[in-house]
Amino acid sequence: SGLEIAVSVLALVEAAISLTRILHEGYTKQKGLLDVCQRLQRRLETIRTIVWLVRDEKDLQTPSVVDRLRELKLVGKRIKLTLQSINPQEKGPARLFFHQLISGSEDEKKINEIISDLEGEKTALILVIQVVGVGLKKDSGDNFTFIPSASARRIDGFLRNDLHIQSGLRLMRITEDRASDGNVPLTDKDMESMLADMQLTVKDDNPATERIIINNVAKFQATQINAPLGEDVWAEVRRLVIEDNTADAMSTQINYPMTLKAFCTGMIPQLVFLIFISYILYFPLSYYF
């Protein structure tokens, strides 16, 4: 049932949060790993809050939401195994020191991959929650009416206030400007809009639906491009997430679309610096080699 799958997902999320806290305490000397552990814990806590809502609101335990919870459960199992594999409590002091020295960056990469997976699952779960037909009724003439129930208001409030998703529950947005005695008749256009949103939630093969650009790091003299140059191929993207990306020292990181002219202009200072460094190093290196 929907309640059972929600409870099992919560158990996995709670276990993952506990393991993340252990990692945070165990790898105190690795700032990069500490930062990604904090980001992972925030993602897990957000997902836990969403699953709490599904557990408590029976109207949300629909087949589409339950399917997303099953996918989240599979991801949760993989996350738990990954976190257990880098658990510092499983290593002695000497082994932990060498593990941090040799595999610290690899652990950081694994956790970043977990965060990316969680972001995708969280987005998919939110989308199916937004289009749930809470308060939707159908009469004998195949006409649909929306009744803004207490459950619909709670779910809408959670999406807007807790998750800061201003579109909230789709049915509430469709009908919010219509004066009524509590029952809001839905037009054919309303239903077409709802169906279109529902179809978007099941099109896993549609690459234009969303782009998630998170937790990328550019170091030293690197130039990291995470966005399109020239043609804006993101024009049809429905949802774009860009956060927790950093560029160190003299590195360059591009996370938003730009023209080729703007890109070339922005790269000139870095190219000049590289030419200058090459010139400075040429004479001493040529002397020794």
pLDDT tens digits for 256-269? 777 777 777 777 77
At 121, which amino acid appears?
E
Report pLDDT for 52. Answer: 92
Pair (91, 151) in one structural domain: yes
Closest CA to 43 of 53, 51, 54, 32: 51
Q: Is the pLDDT of residue 235 over 80?
A: no
Q: Give yes or no: residues 113 and 250 share one domain.
A: no
Q: What are phi and psi of 146, to 5 degrees?
A: -105, 125
On whether both 76 and 145 belong to a single domain, the answer is yes
d(CA 157, CA 171): 13
Domain boundary among 202, 230, 258: 202
The pairing of strands 144-146 and 184-185 is antiparallel
pLDDT attached to residue 50: 92
Mean pLDDT of 132-152: 74
More confident residue, 97 or 284: 284
Give percent of the chain above pLDDT 90.
3
Which CA distances in Å does 109 have to 65, 103, 113, 274? 30, 10, 6, 28
What's the domain range around 158? Answer: 2-202
Q: Is residue 103 part of a domain?
A: yes
Does position 138 have pLDDT exceeding 80, yes or no?
Answer: no
Q: Given a cut of 70, is residue 16 above it in pLDDT?
A: yes
In a domain, 20, yes or no: yes
The highest-confidence range among 84-88, 203-207, 271-275, by mean pLDDT, is: 271-275
Q: Which pLDDT value is given to residue 103?
A: 46
Token pair 């409590």: residue: 89
**pTM assigned to the model:** 0.61
How far apart (Å, rounded) are the C-alpha atoms in residues 289 and 218? Answer: 31
Flag whether pLDDT at 228 surpasses 70: yes
Mean pLDDT value across residues 102-117: 70
Q: Is the pLDDT of residue 275 over 70?
A: yes
Is residue 126 one of the residues assigned to a domain? yes
Q: What is the CA radius of gyration of the chain?
A: 24
Please give the tally of structural domains in the chain.
Answer: 2
Residue 181 banded pLDDT, cuts 50, 70, 90: low
Higher pLDDT, 151 or 240: 151
- pLDDT mean over 133-157: 77
- Is the pLDDT at 56 greater than 80? The verdict is yes
Q: Is residue 98 part of a domain?
A: yes
Whether residues 238 and 153 share a domain: the answer is no
Q: Specify the pLDDT at position 241.
A: 67
209, part of any domain: no
Q: How do 210-214 and 239-243 pair as beta strands?
A: parallel
Give CA–CA dist 264/249, Å, rounded: 20
Lowest mean pLDDT, pick from 49-53, 111-115, 155-159, 223-227: 223-227
Average pLDDT over residues 71-94: 72
Say how many C-beta atoms besides its own lie within 10 A of residue 111's C-beta: 24
Q: Are 221 and 250 in contact (CB under 8 A)?
A: yes
SS3 content of the chain, % helix, strand, coil (to 5): 65, 10, 25
In a domain, 163, yes or no: yes
Angle at 148 between CA 134 and CA 162, to 5 degrees: 75
Query: Which bin fits 212, alpha (ψ -120 to 50), beta or left (φ > 0)?
Result: beta
End-to-end Cα, the chain, rounded Å: 72
Alpha helices in 27-147 (DSSP H): 31-56, 63-85, 93-130
